[in-house]
Structures are given as C-alpha cells and as structure tokens.
Amino acid sequence: MFRARSTEGWALSACLMLASAGAVPCLAQSASQMRREQRQQQREAKQERKQQKDTQRSGPHAGEWLNKYKNLPPDQQQKALENDPQFQSLPPERQQKLRDRLQKFSSLPPDQQQRIVNRMETWEHLTPEQKDKARGLFQQMQQLPPDRQRAVKSAVEDLRQMPPEQRQQAIDSDRYKSQFSPQERGLLSGMSQLPLAAPANDNEAQPDDEPK
C-alpha cells in the first residue's frame, strides 16, 4: 500500500514539474484521452441501437420468410410465425402487427401475394441510403391528395414495365408533363432511380403498402 501511494505521489509530482516547465500537463492528457474514449463509446452505442432498431423494423425474414411459407394454409403460416425466434424477440405490439399483416396477406389472391413478396425482396436488397431515399419519397407522396397518390402509384406501375433506361424518358415526355405536376414528376423520377420489383401480373391491383 505504501509503495502504491508513493508511486502515485511521484507521478503527480512529475506532472506538476512538467507543467511548470511548459510541457503538456499529464492530467490534461489523461482527461482528453478519456473524453475521446467516451465519445467513441457513445458512437458505438448509437450505432448498435440503430442496428437493433432496423432489425426490429424489418421483422422476421420479411420477403424471404413469406416466399418460404406463402403456400401453406393460413393456420400453418401463423404457427410458423409464432415459432420463429426473431418474431419471439420482438415487442408484443410489433408481434401483433405482424400477425395482422400475415392474416391480411393470406387473404389475398396468389398473384397479389407474389407481387408483395417481390417488392419486399427488392426492399431487402436496397442499400441503407436507398432505403432512406425511398422512405423520404413515400412521405412526400403521402402529402399528396388521395386521387393524386393513386395517379402516381399507377404511373409507377407503368414504369415497372419499362427498362430502367427508358423510365426517365417517359417521365420527361409531353404525356407525363400533361398528366403530372413538376412535384409529382420529381417523385416519379426519384422512384424510377430505385430498383423496382417486377409485377407478378399486369392486371393485379396496387396494394397500399409502405416502405418498412
């Protein structure tokens, strides 16, 4: 115990001597290093929270999960969902939301189910930047009147049928300019730059779903 105290006292004396001689204070160096470490720990904790939040938002396996179980009877789909470890780790309110969505999905015609699976699988392969952009575009579209939202969605369906290099040409055409405002064509342009899942059937209805 004496040696430890003596060593600590010697170190403090050395720091004070260096400080009086104009050198960088040892205590200041230590405090600065501690602050840097704390900031690094805060950044890592923030990143970890974001990753956990993204995992919870995506739900269990999303499009891949639906593609695997979509041909099962509804009761077996629900059973598979309840037994999924990732589903079991979600908060109760999130679990109930996924149960409701699966029930709604099971009631749709097969073509519409396949279309939803295609769109979800496309979403899962977007980069984080593309997902942020898609969410922003969706929020902007939600601010349009309902009839204009339907018109934009219908135009997106038309763009799905085109090769990516032809989509912007269509948006800049006189026909689109006569049917859509500059704001709406800006939304279509932004959406056309993202990967668009191919529809399962040309005649199926547009589901009213939102980027997750």
Residue 179 pLDDT > 50: yes
Neighbours of 119 (CB within 10 A): 20
On whether residue 93 sits in a domain, the answer given is: no
Mean pLDDT for 5-11 is: 43
Cα distance between residue 199 and residue 206, in whole Å: 10
Query: Which residues form the domain of 193?
Result: 128-204
- Asked, for residue 161, whether it belongs to a domain, the answer is yes
In this predicted model, which residue has the larger pLDDT, 55 or 143?
143
Q: What domain count does the chain have?
A: 1
Per-residue pLDDT reduced to its tens digit, 84-135: 888 888 899 999 998 998 899 889 898 888 888 888 878 878 888 888 888 8
Q: How far is residue 35's CA from residue 115's CA, in Å, rounded to a whole number?
A: 51
Output the pTM of the full model.
0.51
Residue 59 located in a structural domain: no
Q: What is the pLDDT of residue 174?
A: 95
User: Is residue 200 a part of any domain in this protein?
Assistant: yes
What is the C-alpha to C-alpha distance for residues 207 and 39, in angstroms, rounded to an integer?
45
Assigned domain for 85 exists: no
